Amino acid sequence: MFGLSKNKTKGSKQDNAQIDKQKLEKLTYALSQLREIVNSLANPIFAFEFDGSIYYFSQGASKILKKPLPAVLGRKWFVVLPLEPKDKMREMYSNFVDKKQKISGEFTGPDNRPIELVISPIHFGQGGVVSGGVVEIIDLTQKKQFQQRQIDFISFISHELRTPISSAKGYLDVVLHEADYLKPEHKKFLERAMASTQRQADTVEKLIDLSNLERGQMIVTLEEIDIIAEIQDVIAYWRDVASKKSLSLNFLYPKFNIPHVKADVTLLRTILNNLLDNATKYTKEGSIEVSLYQKESFVYVAIKDTGPGIAEDIQKEIFEKFVRGEHSMTETTQGSGLGLYLAKRFTEQMGGKLTLETKLGEGSTFTFSLPVF
């Protein structure tokens, strides 16, 4: 009896050991399969603990960053990775720790290769506690080359179109103002042609600005500017445009003294024109208000309209190139989708920021800042 019991116990242990061995083999196989899947992803990845220590580094990550696994394992990714600028990597990690949400940033890697890092949080357990992050490494070389070809094409086309459009405007202007024999209906047709030609000319100028900006050829001359005088001058033109649509365009003169700003007058006027063009174009009824105020070492200009507002899913990309709002008035208005992008970039060129506050059905407020002179 006792001998039989011992044999059963021994057999049971052997069976358990066999089961454990099979489980281990299955787990090892699953891990190897998972590793192969990760290594075959289009974009390589690495993973880190919440303190920033790397615990997984794919073969693709080693290849693109030219760092073997032993050189990075257990080390802080924002310290050990060969990307520049280093301060931006540390800032990106700090933002991830604070916000615990998906973030991204562009860097320069080995061989001056443009690289984008996209961090997504890793949630652990039912409580969804963020235990670390997984980083997707995206090689932007081909994307940047394609964008450069786009800019080269835009530059060529816009400069080729500039001269014939200017000539057409000149001829139309002569006919409109010097041909006394024109009948009213003929003059109306020519005025429409003139307006259409002007829109094309404006689009060409925006494309040239875009080309200069993207090529780094934008010349910015910062000087002391009386911003109130510039706003009043620009508003004088747009007040006539607004009145033709039965809109009121008001400048809320500040109650307190506003200091002069440090800006490029051409870029400042372009920002104002683009924002007022956007406001008058999409506001069907109501009013447009322009106000300004000082806060610390910046002057803020706010342009508020009673238009349709901008949907939440569009707000994130409204300042991108060739993006227009998705609402019914978009179908009946014309535009290049460059005005807001250029306004934002020009503001940044002068050390300021352009922001948006909007609610669907209640209008929008675009506010840009410029440093005090």
Predicted pLDDT of residue 13: 62
* Claim to verify: residue 357 and residue 277 sit in the same structural domain: yes
* Claim to verify: residue 132 and residue 158 sit in the same structural domain: no
The b-or-e profile of 187-217 (16+ CB within 10 A means b, else e) is eeebeeebeebeebbbbbbbbbbbbebbeee
* Claim to verify: residue 80 and residue 151 sit in the same structural domain: no
Which distant-in-sequence residues (6+ apart) come within 8 Å of 127 by Cβ? Answer: none
* Claim to verify: residue 106 and residue 149 sit in the same structural domain: no
What's the CATH code of the domain at 341? 3.30.565.10
pLDDT, tens digit only, all 373 positions of the chain: 445 455 555 556 666 666 666 667 666 655 565 566 556 555 788 999 999 999 989 888 888 888 888 899 999 999 999 999 999 999 999 999 999 999 999 999 998 999 999 999 998 876 678 889 999 999 999 888 887 887 788 777 777 888 888 888 888 888 887 777 778 888 888 888 887 887 788 778 878 888 778 777 788 899 999 999 999 999 999 998 899 899 999 999 898 899 999 999 989 999 999 999 999 998 999 999 999 999 999 999 999 999 999 888 888 788 887 776 554 444 445 556 788 988 999 999 999 999 999 988 889 999 999 999 9
Q: Are strands 354-358 and 364-371 parallel, antiparallel or unpaired?
A: antiparallel
Q: Give the integer Cα–Cα distance in Å for 281 and 236.
A: 16
Per the domain annotation, does 20 fall within a domain?
no
What's the CATH code of the domain at 99? 3.30.450.20
Q: Are strands 248-252 and 103-108 parallel, antiparallel or unpaired?
A: unpaired
Burial of 103 per CB tally in 10 Å (0-12, 13-18, 19+)? middle
Q: Give the integer Cα–Cα distance in Å for 373 and 143.
A: 39
Number of helices (H), then strands (E), belonging to the chain: the values are: 11, 12
Q: Give the integer Cα–Cα distance in Å for 264 and 185.
A: 43
DSSP state letters, 165-191: HHHHHHHHHHHHHH-TT--HHHHHHHH
- Three-state DSSP at 10 gives helix
How many domains would you assign to the chain? 3
Predicted pLDDT of residue 15: 64
Per the domain annotation, does 242 fall within a domain?
yes
* Claim to verify: residue 330 and residue 249 sit in the same structural domain: yes
What's the CATH code of the domain at 177? 1.10.287
Q: Give the integer Cα–Cα distance in Å for 69 and 30.
A: 21
Per the domain annotation, does 9 fall within a domain?
no
Per the domain annotation, does 303 fall within a domain?
yes
Q: Domain boundary residue among 181, 214, 247?
A: 214
Per the domain annotation, does 15 fall within a domain?
no
* Claim to verify: residue 174 and residue 250 sit in the same structural domain: no
Q: Domain boundary residue among 139, 161, 188?
A: 139
Q: Are strands 45-49 and 129-139 parallel, antiparallel or unpaired?
A: antiparallel
Predicted pLDDT of residue 1: 46
* Claim to verify: residue 70 and residue 206 sit in the same structural domain: no
Per the domain annotation, does 29 fall within a domain?
no
Q: Give the integer Cα–Cα distance in Å for 77 and 86.
A: 11
DSSP state letters, 273-325: HHHHHHHHHH--SSEEEEEEEEETTEEEEEEEE-S----HHHHTTTTSTT---
- Three-state DSSP at 337 gives coil
Which tokens go with 274? 């683009």
* Claim to verify: residue 209 and residue 245 sit in the same structural domain: no
Per the domain annotation, does 106 fall within a domain?
yes
Q: Give the integer Cα–Cα distance in Å for 359 and 89.
A: 34
Q: Give the integer Cα–Cα distance in Å for 364 and 325.
A: 12
Q: Which helix (H) or strand (E) holds 266?
A: helix 265-282
**Residue among 219, 217, 167, 172 nearest 191 (CA):** 172
Whole-model pTM above 0.75? no
* Claim to verify: residue 106 and residue 232 sit in the same structural domain: no
Angstrom CA distances, 8 to 5, 13, 15, 19, stand at 5, 9, 10, 16
Which distant-in-sequence residues (6+ apart) come within 8 Å of 228 by Cβ? Answer: 253, 254, 258, 292
Q: Domain boundary residue among 90, 122, 139?
A: 139
Residue ranges making up the domain that contains 197: 144-214
Q: Which amino acid is at 4?
A: L
* Claim to verify: residue 161 and residue 255 sit in the same structural domain: no
